[in-house]
Structure 1
């Protein structure tokens, strides 16, 4: 855990900066790769602008849902891009509120109310994020807010209804299981390589080789998401057998050629970095 709200907030910003700066992250924005409508600088602006909101969250002045909304609202005032950090903010709000204690973060999520859920819905609308179709309580539905209030759905209640492939939502249900796994991987990879960039990229690739990113599913369908997962697994095997880090640059070209970006995996790496920092990872 972090010793103070200020350190918790600084570490949240640092986690976002480290993630976006890690390169290459096949299919995503990093220090060397941009999209025409989403650039490295957008992520720097979003991360920087988030600091005062994270301080308020860590001080207990904003609840989990309200924190997500204020993060999206405040950071969007400093850039013109859509959906820069929505998924990351969803993960980080309870983790920062708990000062980096995943067990306490789970308790905070379980104690939320329908008002938190409505705040997250409004943050989603403001961010213009893309999501996988849901059979019930789809984020894009016009009647979602009314249903949330009528049913009294807390954030954990609502996230239980998310499609299984929405692993960001499921982190609320599982107690941040994947983020905790990522924390261990980052620390292990750093121990092996003594290289911050490589440790983060390898954490990213390990998740990419295991998970079908919901942003890819939403944009291009499950078959493409499966293909990206398989390609990542193949590239990771080459790296493990040869130590050739350049294989990830080749993978980046192939993933970009498909016209997709695994943004949810990047969000998961951010929460993994945050928990590693909370546990004392230093470099």
Structure 2
């Protein structure tokens, strides 16, 4: 989490050189520190607690994914005073739990998400009471499961037997949002990771692992590779799908090595569009961060904040670190 926010430039997001009007770099540092307790619960998997009738005076209990996530969000919010890394934690907690089971792989994390319970879903909904989260409108038939209901949705969740993975599956198709926005939907990328075995996370982790130089720079290049491939969910939620797709086309221009100012600095020729396939590792490694700085300044000026792409970058950094990437040279 600390490496993710230190990576620069990550166009449109807070980094070590840029604050946003309502978010500062140091807030993310506090959020990362505050989340540690919940992440430790996810890493332990099981914890000892006092229990009557146990000869040792203790019993082993499973710490659920939802409980670990809720604890991490609470700690983040307490230290940061706002939402800094809710989406990062949503991806990190199952990855950390998969590591605890001894299988940090797409199959291993898929098992973790498939084993979530209704109780995990309830804890996830309660987490929305801690911070203000930008979310799309729910599908028309899912108003009772709108995450903005927080803990009030518990009865509906239990009546329907909806696990946390079920909730994520429902979220893979974003709502329409305000009537003024285009109707084409940009899926919730974090929810897609939960239901698809984290393909974007593991792909970007490989980009980072096989890259050279400081990890924060590798993360910045991986961020551009992710954004160049798919529109960002948070941008679509806040600004609409057309702006999200345009931002992706502009990021793709950087990955392609197209340095035309018209593409970087504002509305212009976007005929090349997003990448049709994820970039190769060599293409990501060749990203010119100086050119990305120009795009970063433009996105900040225009209020384009690809926060979901930052979540995926954070998750990819975790996998890369677990697979041997080192902070020190």
TM-score range, shorter chain: 0.7 to 0.9
Distance 1:237 1:259 in 2: 24
Deviation digits for residues 11-62 of structure 1 (CA, Å, limit 9, x no counterpart): xxxxx01110001110000000001211110110111122232222211142
My pick for the range that moved more, 233-242 or 175-184, is 233-242
Matched, 1:176 2:198: yes
Matched residue, 1:209:
228
Deviation digits for residues 137-183 of structure 1 (CA, Å, limit 9, x no counterpart): 33224763322111111111111111341010111111111111111
Maintained 8 Å contact 1:86/1:124: no
Matched, 1:200 2:208: no
Residue pairs, 1:113-124, within 5 angstroms? 113-124=117-128
From 142, 153, 160, the equivalent of 1:151 is 160
Maintained 8 Å contact 1:132/1:163: no
Q: How far is the alpha carbon of 1:280 from its aligned partner?
A: 1.5
Residue pairs, 1:52-63, within 5 angstroms? 52-60=37-45, 61=47, 62-63=63-64
Matched residue, 2:104:
101
Structure 1 gaps of 5+ residues are 1-15
Matched residue, 1:245:
289
Matched, 1:38 2:42: no
Maintained 8 Å contact 1:134/1:163: no
Structure 2 gaps of 5+ residues are 48-62, 174-186, 259-282
Larger Rg: 2
Pick the structure with more helix per residue.
Answer: 1
> How well do the aligned residues superpose, as a CA RMSD in angstroms?
1.9
Matched residue, 1:66:
67
Q: How far is the alpha carbon of 1:244 from its aligned partner?
A: 4.0
Matched residue, 2:244:
225
TM-score by length of 1: 0.87
Q: How far is the alpha carbon of 1:104 from its aligned partner?
A: 2.5
Distance 1:133 1:210 in 2: 24
Matched residue, 1:49:
34
Matched residue, 1:6:
none
Distance 1:243 1:50 in 2: 31
Maintained 8 Å contact 2:35/2:74: no
User: Which of structures 1 and 2 has the larger relative contact order (alpha carbons within 8 angstroms, sep 6+)?
Assistant: 1
Structure 1 pair 125–211 and aligned structure 2 pair: CA distance change class (3 A): farther
TM-score by length of 2: 0.76
